[in-house]
Amino acid sequence: MTTTTDPSAGGFDLYDPELPSRLHRAFDVLREEDPVHPTGDGRWLLTRYDDVQEILKDRTRCGTDIHAVRGYDETRPFGAGSDLERVQEGLLINLPDVEHKRVRGAFTKPFTRHNVEAQVTALVEGLVDELFAALPDEGEVDWVDAVARPMPARVFQALFGLPEDDLERLLGLLHEDTVAIDVLLSPDLVAPDDLDRAGAAFLQLRADIDALARARHAGAATGTDMLSFLLTQHDAGRLSWDDVLTQAMEALAAGTSTTMTLLAGMVEAFAQHPDQWDRVRADASLIRPAVEESLRWVSPALSMGRVAMVDFELHGTTIRAGDVVQCGVLPANRDPRVFADPHAFDVGRGATPRPDGGKGAPGQAGAAHVAFGGGTHVCLGAHVARLEARVVLERLRERYARITMDPDAAALHPTLLIRTYRSLPVTFHAAEAPAGRAAA
């Protein structure tokens, strides 16, 4: 099938500079007309929920070791055999099954739901309360600068024992790397200078983490932070030194950029849907469902990549072994076959059955979002992100009767694969009587 690239028709063109501002309209077209969309030679984008969910979990037709097969594309944008590509190959999201099981198994314990709730809740609550103390009872703030950006950064600074006076510089390096990640959709999407700058930033971040890890490893006392935990796994022979550095970097990147987008997008959603804010204000039991709906509605990661291990067909399109398949998380989470009125923000969505009559998610009538991926590669830091969003929402609910904003005020960075906010001006309106605090 062919898909129009006329912006006025909501078509899809990776090279249209206006695409980030109209992704949902473009994906609506693709989902109906071209669900297995070619984005380049041997690269495909899936947009339907059932296809995305299936391929994310598939361990027979598709794998995650994209570098070993294609280096993401024929031009090897990260440099064949380079230090940069070696680091990229070690990321959990890229590791083949055997290596993924080994590395994830050594690093899972701190990120289980039980451990996160037991060991991280007090930290998150303290940081949220500190940031909220600087917010006005009434008036406009840039939510990104005030809370969404510093909150996840400070959580991971504390969890990994990162130097506080160096945090802004580390975040800057992470941002440079994020700017170039669109190369995974197509090598022509990122200018050579941006790619060079991203590569240099990524390697500098690795060098910084390496220096920090070596200093901590040489210390007499064993720390309780997550970097020290990784070092104990290294000493026990479960992780290599490269594993330690790569997992620390990946956790820092995934735990800051995507959670920042979740916190910003959640507030934007409530500002745009005041009826849903009223529901949460009236019923604290909706806080956790509201976080899940925020994850679906925001979907910080546009897609997650897989590589075809065998030839197979999908909707009449032949995908060849070695082809890269981008599983469109954002369009899947807005699929009207699965989510009724998918562009609406509905904190009670879990009670709504799938429109197509398909099976709901465990414990709810409707489908589960795929914002954290699926299968064995589901996001390791999902419980930390959920905790941060929940505590932030609890405090907002207690303090503010209304959140409003100009519909066009949100400013996002012009990237596709990882969507991040530059700013989000919102106006807070104080509650006459605070809403009750939700039970933990």
Hey, how many other C-beta atoms are within 10 angstroms of the C-beta on 336? 15
pLDDT in tens, 16-35: 888 888 889 999 999 999 99
Alpha-carbon distances, residue 301 vs 10, 69, 305, 400, 429 (angstroms): 21, 23, 11, 29, 31
Under 8 Å between Cβ of 182 and 419: no
What band does 363 get if pLDDT is binned at 50, 70 and 90?
Answer: confident
pLDDT above 90 covers what percent of the chain?
Answer: 51
Q: What is the pLDDT of residue 6?
A: 43
Q: Is the pLDDT of residue 247 over 60?
A: yes
Planar angle of CA 421, 426, 427, nearest 5 degrees: 170
Rounded to an integer, what distance in angstroms lies between the CA atom of residue 394 and that of residue 404?
Answer: 18
pLDDT averaged over every residue in the chain: 86
- pLDDT number for residue 7: 36
| Minimum mean pLDDT range among 39-48, 173-182, 263-272 | 173-182
Above 70 in pLDDT, residue 437?
A: no
* Predicted pLDDT of residue 384: 93
Of the listed ranges 129-133, 230-234, 414-418, the least confidently predicted one is 414-418
**435: pLDDT confidence band, cut at 50, 70 and 90?**
low
The whole-number pLDDT of residue 328 equals 95
pLDDT, residue 111, reads 85
Q: 172: which residues sit within 8 A by CB, 6+ positions away? A: 201
- On whether the CB atoms of residues 295 and 366 are closer than 8 A, the answer is no
Taking CA atoms, 270 is separated from 25, 202, 297, in Å, by 21, 35, 11
Mean pLDDT computed over 47-53: 97
- For a pLDDT cut of 70, what percent of the chain falls above it? 89
51 has a pLDDT exceeding 90:
yes
313-341 pLDDT per residue, tens:
999 999 999 898 999 999 999 999 999 99
Question: Taking the model in full, what pTM does it have?
Answer: 0.90
Q: Is the pLDDT of residue 262 over 80?
A: yes
- Name the E strands within 242-381: 303-308, 312-314, 317-319, 324-328
Question: How many CA within 13 A on the CB side of residue 219?
Answer: 14
For 201-246, the pLDDT digits (tens) are 888 888 899 999 999 998 755 678 899 999 999 999 999 998 898 8
> Which of 3-12, 90-99, 188-197, 293-302 comes out lowest in average pLDDT?
3-12
Q: Could you give the count of Cα atoms lying within 13 Å of 206 in the half-sphere of its Cβ?
A: 22
| pLDDT-derived band at 69, boundaries 50, 70, 90 | low
Long-range contacts of the stretch 178-183 (C-beta < 8 A, 24+): 178/253, 178/257, 178/413, 178/415, 178/418, 178/420, 179/413, 179/415, 181/415, 181/417, 181/418, 182/415, 182/416, 182/417, 183/72, 183/73, 183/77
* Residue 393 pLDDT grade (very low, low, confident, very high; cuts 50, 70, 90): very high
